[in-house]
A and B are shown apart, each in its own frame.
Chain A
Amino acid sequence: MTLFGVLGFTTPMLLVSLLALPILWVILRAVPPAPVRRLFPGVVLLLGLKDDDQVTDRTPWWLLLLRMLAVAAVIVGLAGPILNPEPKQEAAGDAPLLVVMDASWASASDWRARMRALDGLLAKAGRDERPVALLRLSNPEPVQFSSADVLRSRLSGIQPEPWQPGSTTATQAIAALPEDDFDSYWMSDGLDRESRNGLLRLLENKGDVQVFENPRALYALGPATLADGALNLTLHRLRPGPEVEVSLVGHGTDPAGNPAVLFQAPVTFAENALTTETKQALPAEMRARITRFEIAGTRSAGAVTLPDDSLRRREVALIAGREGREGLQLLDPLHYLVKALAPTADLLNGSLSEVLLANPDVIVLVDVATLAPGEEAAVLEWLDKGGLLLRFAGPRLAASDVSRSTEDPLMPVRLRAGGRTVGGAMSWGEPKTLAPFDEDSPFAGLNTSDEITVNSQVMAQPDPALAERVIAQLSDGTPLVTRKLVGQGQVVLVHVTANAEWSTLPLSGLFVQMLERLAISSSAGAVEAEAMDGTTWQPISVLDAFGVLRDGETLPGVDGVDLVDEELNTELRPGLYQGENRSLARNVIAADTELALMIWPDHIAVEGLSRPQETPLGGWLLGGAIALLLADVIASLALSGRLVGARAAAGLILVLALPVESRAQGPDDQLAIAATSEVVFAHVLTGDAKLDQLAGAAMRGLSDTLFFRTSVEPALPMAVNLEEDELAFFPFIYWPISPDQAIPSDAAYAKLNEYLRSGGMILFDTRDADIAGFGTATPNGRKLQALAARLDIPPLEPIPEDHVLTRTFYLLQDFPGRYTGRDVWVEAAPPDAELVEGMPFRNLNDNVTPVVIGGNDWASAWAVDQTGSPLVPLGRSFTGERQREIANRFGVNLVMHVLTGNYKSDQVHVPALLDRLGQ
């Protein structure tokens, strides 16, 4: 490979052919574009005309340039150009190569890139046949050089550890180094630590040291603390930089127990700031459900912090047997408890039955002897579910008979009557001090002080079970604190009072520590190592370097002091640990952790991860050459005058592509124009082809009749589809009922109702002669009912004798069609219509009846064929013809009624009008 700065070529010899370009220029320039042959009769007139410009038989320079560029691009493309090619390792020594990796949580976020870089390094070492070994500083193992390929095959198994190399691991690492000389390649995580320098000096003595470091931003998240009811979180970053915003996410469970993101908040690092703090005010209930905080998008254990019980405030209900006397605060039985618990717990006050509803974590009964039976059962139930009942003794308890002969379920032990008093004015002996706590006591490791004295106490009745229930005792062996497990909960009895009357215990710091150990209060501050003395903590879940929680149940328990003080290592992994009554989180980033940037000595070469990638350019160049040649095609066409057709085609395509705005008149418009330019009657398409045909013929017959006899001159009738067609154009619609008809859609009903309301008329024809009268007896009748159920039809009545339909054109009293049924229904007259004296008719409704319903099969009577002769025979001879005539007259009256409304009804008033005019 030949290198020209950032550009390299795989076959640079091909570039020599670039020299041929000038020759090509000359050749191409001499060749004019091929001519077009055209038939042209006017050639006669052209004969003898010379071209003005003799130069134009050469290819124009810009076209030549285009072609040259294309050819040059092809040549260069084939020469295999590569941008940022891997520089050759110069004078790579053949000494063994030791790859030193920090392999800490700080490398985890870009671990994959590191592995890729390592893979490339190993590949190169394999080509150079150098033996290679790997040393992970976070978990050093003896170094053994092997061939690079062997190491490469194990590459996927190399993982970072969720801690940093510490002083112990540094020692181990130095011990693991081989005797012989070797070169080193240190894949650093960028964090400064004390152990580095010694190791670096050692490595430099052995051979060359090259450092690999990723200059990426590294974020870490400190543990969450609780202050003033808000969560405080500290975010760190390794390198100062511009202002940047990261997203802080709190994972947890929703109330149903499913994993959920409980909060997400942007946190901004100010410019050049290395740390930033954020406050998150969350409801206590939601806070308790958070299982982990993390910086979104960072795969690293350092960007995860696990909350423990210190974030929880326990609910403690305090119930005293007697009220404190006013003004005597220090004698208040609850005073010391309130003082001890208030900073770290939520205190509940109230009667026992009330606080039980709140399901507190702890109920403290101070000198309460007996509970009501109902309360006792409720407390037992609450205990079964994991409650902690803490009882303090007192005069009342001592005086009562509770748990005297038989053990009270809410007492851990039986009590002797009266208790005892020692070291008082009226008693012998010295006040008693506390004996050291047993190993298996929850208070194990707490320091007992001689200053704590006990003057009075209630005494436990000796019992076989007593010994195991004692968790704290006095120096003379009398139990001071006893405990009994009830279901998942426990009952703890402190045999002294909760105030300083009987002992000085509540005055001491031990009192608070004991409450802490009992998990009644939880300390918000850092856990003191001494308070952890003698405890063993079981990992529940541990973090791996990538910040993923793993099950930790199979790991061995950890000593409490180690958990607090020891630096993280193989035995002490970051994660959540469960103690006796509480959980404690050990996070990668402690509260006092500072991220410090490693500054390497100047003579150490530091290589970055984000070196520009090697990019082959051949494909781009060849593609560009093709594009240039395409441009050349177009340019050549344009030059030889052959682009006109192409241009026209392009224009045509453009025109076709444009949205066609001026739409031709659609079928709807045509229908509307046809229906509105003349009076047009319509019939509803029922889906029964024969019936539709008959109805069409009937409308034609009716139209003809009107044409001949009246001044109404309708155009050809139309068939309407209720679903699709607009009805408003038609003054009159004939709707023959067929039992197979489909029920119209909602939209169609809306249209029909609108039509009826706005003055249209529909003639419903059941065509069954209504043989049953009011009949739903026929299928057609039932169908009509189904169809009309959703129509906006006014009250109906059979046509009264004085209805305007009987006289709009002809005087009629019968309305026969094919049948001569009597019942034809129209809109009912208003109830107040009365026959006025001297008037032949009532003054009826003003409107046109929107519907006429009958069953006389008028379609058959009206229907005519193309020549105008009746389609359906009617009756016999003359009577039949008479019936058809009357049917036609009904049709005429109907249409007249539709078109003229109540005009004929108004004729009633003519005599009155004439009278008023004085004539």
Chain B
Amino acid sequence: MTQTTAQLKSRAQDEASRFPALLARAEQLAGTVLLGEHGRRRAGLGDDFWQYRPMRAGDSLRWVDWRRSAKGDDQFIREREWQVAQSVQLWVDPGASMRFSSQKDLPTKADRAQLIALAAAVLLIRGGERVGLTGWDLPPRRGEAQVLRLAEMLSREDTTDYAEPEARGMLPHARSLFISDFMSDIAPIEAALTKAADRGVRGVLVQVLDPSEEAFPFQGRTIFESVGKSLAHETLKAGELRDRYLQRLAERKDRLETLCRLTGWQFYCHHTDHSAQSALLWLYRALDGGHG
């Protein structure tokens, strides 16, 4: 990538700054006990004051709020609101197939995917969520520093042509965001999604496609090669292949959507010639869920 980490971060922040703080949906707060800023409207562990209550048996003396208790004879305990944070785990396809753009003035798919992912991450972190990557490299954390780390990790590139989704190290009941062109073999994707669904992880699939992949505007005798040159296909009349290619692409999309429906995920297809903001807006809606 020619882009430096700082540039990526600044551009992502630029994208993120156009949105109000994104509060991820937190249905399954019970499972994750990590602190966050989603008030549960009940007493628990947290930073914000919830209520004073008379000290009951079994309460530790350490919990007594002595300032309040000194006003009267009873001893009060200061309860705080139970707050939890959502964990969001990202996976951005690092494969070589993402580093493709059909025209000079279009960004590569990888570029767009990283930008969307990081923008979402910035929004989430600003909303108090914890954002990390799937796998073991970068577990979800909060704070601005995490944006930097994310940006750094996202910039890593893989040499394989078509990377498989990383479904390891997923926290139960966390949210997840997979961004890829999903051109690779469908089985690992299926496995990853199934595994995630098993652990109660729900999330979003964003398919990033180049316009040429959607339109297939080729004619004549052509040898098509993957970016990593591991695959090649020769045809004498590229134009004749168009219909069948588009059919296969539609099938692939359909398959992904079906998969998402089954696992409770959401699917979105984004093209690099569209604005990144449209994708981010959709992501905002998707991650914000019914709270919109």
CB within 8 Å of B: which residues of A? 32-47, 49, 51-53, 56-57, 639-642, 644
Contacts and interface: CB of A to CB of B under 8 A. Distances in A.
B234 interface: yes
Given A52-B240, A641-B238, A35 B97 contact: no
Interface stretch (B1-9, B27-35, B213-221): B213-221
The 7 A-B pairs with the shortest beta carbon distances in the complex, nearest first, are A641-B220, A641-B219, A640-B220, A41-B97, A35-B221, A45-B248, A40-B224
Given A45-B183, A45-B249, A47-B233, A35 B162 contact: no
Contacts of A52: 237, 240
Contacts of A35: 220-223, 234, 236
A57 to B, nearest CB: 5
B245 A49 contact: yes
Given A39-B226, A644-B217, A45 B245 contact: yes
A56 B234 CA distance: 13
A53 B227 contact: no
Given A42-B183, A44-B231, A641-B220, A32 B248 contact: no
B56 interface: no
Contacts, number: 107
B181 interface: yes
A41 B219 CA distance: 17
B231 to A, nearest CB: 5
Contact of B235 (A42, A49, A639): A49
Contact of A639 (B97, B220, B244): B220
Nearest to B161: A41
Interface in B216-265: 216-227, 231-241, 244-245, 248-249, 252
Counting chain A CB atoms within 10 Å of each CB, the highest count among B220, B235, B252 belongs to B220
Contacts of B69: none
Given A37-B225, A45-B249, A53-B240, 20 more contacts: A32-B236, A33-B220, A36-B222, A37-B223, A38-B223, A39-B225, A40-B213, A40-B225, A41-B100, A41-B210, A41-B213, A45-B252, A46-B248, A51-B237, A51-B240, A52-B237, A52-B240, A640-B220, A641-B220, A644-B219
A400 to B, nearest CB: 120
B159 interface: no
A44 B236 contact: no
16 contacts: A32-B221, A35-B234, A36-B221, A36-B222, A40-B213, A41-B100, A41-B183, A42-B245, A43-B224, A43-B225, A45-B245, A45-B249, A46-B233, A47-B231, A641-B239, A644-B217
A372 to B, nearest CB: 110
B239 A51 contact: no
B184 interface: yes
Contacts of A40: 100, 212-213, 218, 224-226
Counting chain A CB atoms within 10 Å of each CB, the highest count among B181, B218, B219 belongs to B219
Nearest to A40: B224
Contact of B236 (A42, A47, A51): A51
Nearest to B233: A46
Counting chain A CB atoms within 10 Å of each CB, the highest count among B109, B210, B218, B222 belongs to B222
A49 B97 contact: no
Nearest to A41: B97
A35 B234 CA distance: 8
A47 to B, nearest CB: 6
B227 A41 contact: yes
Contacts of B239: 641
Contacts of B217: 644
A273 to B, nearest CB: 69
B183 A49 contact: no
Contacts of B235: 46, 49, 51
A205 to B, nearest CB: 80
B246 to A, nearest CB: 9
A713 to B, nearest CB: 36
Counting chain B CB atoms within 10 Å of each CB, the highest count among A38, A39, A41 belongs to A41
Contacts of A46: 224, 233, 235, 241, 245, 248
Contacts of A56: 236-237
B232 to A, nearest CB: 7
A642 B239 CA distance: 12
Is chain B's interface secondary structure helix, strand, loop, or mixed overall? mixed
A38 B183 contact: no
Contact of A43 (B210, B221, B226): B226
Given A41-B210, A45-B249, A49-B244, A36 B236 contact: no
A51 B98 CA distance: 27
Counting chain B CB atoms within 10 Å of each CB, the highest count among A37, A40, A43, A47 belongs to A40
A692 to B, nearest CB: 44
B178 to A, nearest CB: 17
Counting chain B CB atoms within 10 Å of each CB, the highest count among A38, A42, A46 belongs to A42
A21 to B, nearest CB: 25
A260 B235 CA distance: 81
Nearest to A55: B236
Contacts of B109: 41
A49 B184 CA distance: 17
B184 to A, nearest CB: 7
A38 B233 contact: no
Contacts of B97: 41
Contacts of B237: 51-53, 56
Contacts of A32: 221, 236
Contacts of B98: 41
Contacts of B220: 33, 35-36, 639-642
B221 A640 contact: yes
A768 to B, nearest CB: 61
A49 B223 CA distance: 13
B162 A44 contact: yes
B184 A44 contact: yes
A33 B223 CA distance: 12
Interface in B90-135: 97-98, 100, 109
A39 B237 CA distance: 16
A44 B233 CA distance: 9
Contacts of B216: 42
Nearest to A36: B222
B234 to A, nearest CB: 6
Contacts of B218: 38, 40, 641
Given A41-B97, A43-B232, A44-B231, A49 B241 contact: yes
Nearest to B98: A41
Contacts of A44: 162, 183-184, 226, 231
Contacts of B212: 40
Contacts of A37: 222-223, 225
A640 B218 CA distance: 9
B233 A34 contact: no
B227 A39 contact: yes
Nearest to B185: A44
B162 to A, nearest CB: 7
Contacts of B240: 51-53
A47 B231 CA distance: 9
Nearest to A45: B248
B3 to A, nearest CB: 20
Contacts of B236: 32, 35, 51, 56-57
A112 to B, nearest CB: 60
Nearest to A34: B221
A52 to B, nearest CB: 5
A38 B224 contact: yes
A37 B223 CA distance: 5
Contacts of A639: 220
Nearest to B162: A44
A41 B100 CA distance: 7
A37 B109 CA distance: 20
Contacts of A640: 219-221
Contacts of B232: 43
A880 to B, nearest CB: 55
Nearest to A48: B233
